[in-house]
Amino acid sequence: MTGNEMSGASEGGMERHQYDVVVVGAGGAGLRAAIAAHEAGARTAVVCKSLLGKAHTVMAEGGIAAAMGNRWPEDNWEVHFRDTMRGGKMLNNWRMAQLHAQEAPERVQELEDWGALFDRTEDGLISQRDFGGHKYARLAHVGDRTGLEMIRTLQQRTVQLGIDVFMECTVTELLKDGERISGAFGYWRETGRFITFDAPTVILATGGIGKSFKVTSNSWEYTGDGHALALRAGAALINMEFVQFHPTGMVWPPSVKGLLVTESVRGDGGILRNSEGKRFMFDYIPEFFRSETADTEEEADRWYDDKKNNRRPPELLPRDEVARAINSEIKAGRGTPHGGIYLDIASRRTPEFIRKRLPSMYHQFKELADVDITQEPMEIGPTCHYVMGGVEVDADTQESAVTGLYAVGECSGGMHGSNRLGGNSLGDLLVFGKRAGEAASAYAAGLGAARPAIRDEDLKAAQASALAPFEVEGGENPYTIQQDLQQSMNDLVGIIRTGAELEESLREIEAFKERARTMVVEGHRQYNPGWHLSIDLRNMLLVSEAIAKAALAREESRGGHTRDDFPKTDNEVWGTKNLVVTLDAGGTGVDLHEKPLPVMPDELKKYFD
Amino acid sequence: MGYDLKMRVWRGDTDGGELVDYTVEVSEGEVVLDALHRLQATQSGDLAIRWNCKAGKCGSCSAEINGRPKLLCMTRLSDFEPTETITVTPMRTFPVIRDLVTDVSYNYEKAKELPYAQLPPRDADGKRRMAQIDVERGQEFRKCIECFLCQNTCHVVRDHEDNKPAFAGPRFFLRYAELDMHPLDTHDRRALAQGAAGIGMCNITKCCTEVCPEGIKITDNAIIPMKERVVDRKYDPLVWLGNKIGIRNKDNDGRTEV
A231 CB-near residues (< 8 Å, 6+ apart): A237, A542, A546, A581, A582, A583, A590
Cα atoms in the 13 Å half-sphere on the side-chain side of A535? 26
Task: Clarify whether A80 is annotated catalytic.
Answer: no
Question: Roughly how many angstroms between the first and final C-alpha of chain A, as a whole number?
Answer: 56
Nearest CA in chain A to B122: A113
Q: Is A157 a catalytic residue?
A: no
Confidence of residue A2 (pLDDT cuts 50, 70, 90): very low
Whether pTM > 0.90 for this model: the answer is yes
CB within 8 Å: A51 and B50: yes
| pLDDT surpassing 60 at residue A3 | no
What band does A1 get if pLDDT is binned at 50, 70 and 90? Answer: very low
Task: Give residue-wise pLDDT tens across range B174-217.
Answer: 999 999 999 999 988 888 887 778 999 999 999 999 999 999 99
Contacts of A159 in chain B (CB under 8 A): 111-112, 114
The strand ranges marked E within B124-220 are 187-188
Alpha helices in A139-250, H assignment, sequence order: 146-161, 225-233
Q: What pLDDT digit, counting tens, does each position of A419-444 carry?
A: 999 999 999 999 999 999 999 999 99
Helix axes A456-471, A529-553, angle to 10 degrees: 100
**Could B49 and A368 be called an inter-chain contact, meaning their C-beta atoms sit closer than 8 Å?**
no
Share of chain B above pLDDT 70, in %: 93
- B60 Cα to chain A: minimum distance (Å): 7
Beta-carbon separation of A56 and B52 below 8 A: yes
Q: Mean pLDDT throughout A318-327? A: 94
Beta bridge partners of A166: A47
The pLDDT value given to residue A525:
92
* Start-end of H helices in A448-570: 456-471, 478-492, 499-517, 529-553
Enumerate the H helices of A348-423 as residue ranges. Answer: 351-357, 359-369
- What are the tens digits of pLDDT across the range A368-399? 999 999 999 999 999 999 999 999 999 999 99
- SS3 of A266, please? helix
Check pLDDT > 50 for residue A300: yes
pLDDT 10s digits, B150-176:
999 999 999 999 999 999 999 999 999
- Does residue A24 surpass a pLDDT of 50? yes
pLDDT for A184 beyond 60: yes
B251-257 contacts, C-beta under 8 A, 24 or more apart: B252/B188, B254/B186, B255/B185, B255/B186, B255/B187, B255/B188, B256/B186, B256/B187, B256/B188, B257/B187, B257/B188, B257/B189, B257/B190, B257/B191
Q: Looking at CA atoms only, how far is residue B82 from chain A in angstroms?
A: 17
User: Does B76 have pLDDT greater than 70?
Assistant: yes
Using the predicted structure, report yes or no on whether residue A14 has a pLDDT greater than 60: yes
Yes or no, beta carbons of A255 and B57 under 8 Å apart: no
Is there a contact between B58 and A115 if contact means CB atoms under 8 Å apart? no
Q: How does pLDDT run across A77-132, given as a tens digit for each residue?
A: 999 999 999 999 999 999 999 999 999 999 999 999 999 999 999 999 999 999 99
Pick A221's closest partner by Cβ from B52, B99, B127. B52
A301 vs B135: CA distance, rounded Å: 30
**E-strand stretches of A34-89:** 44-47, 64-65
* pLDDT, chain A, mean: 95
Of A246, A349, A357, A385, the active-site residue reads A246
Position B247 pLDDT exceeds 70: no
The CA radius of gyration of chain A, in Å to the nearest whole number, is 23
| Residue A354 C-alpha, separation from nearest chain B C-alpha, in angstroms | 16
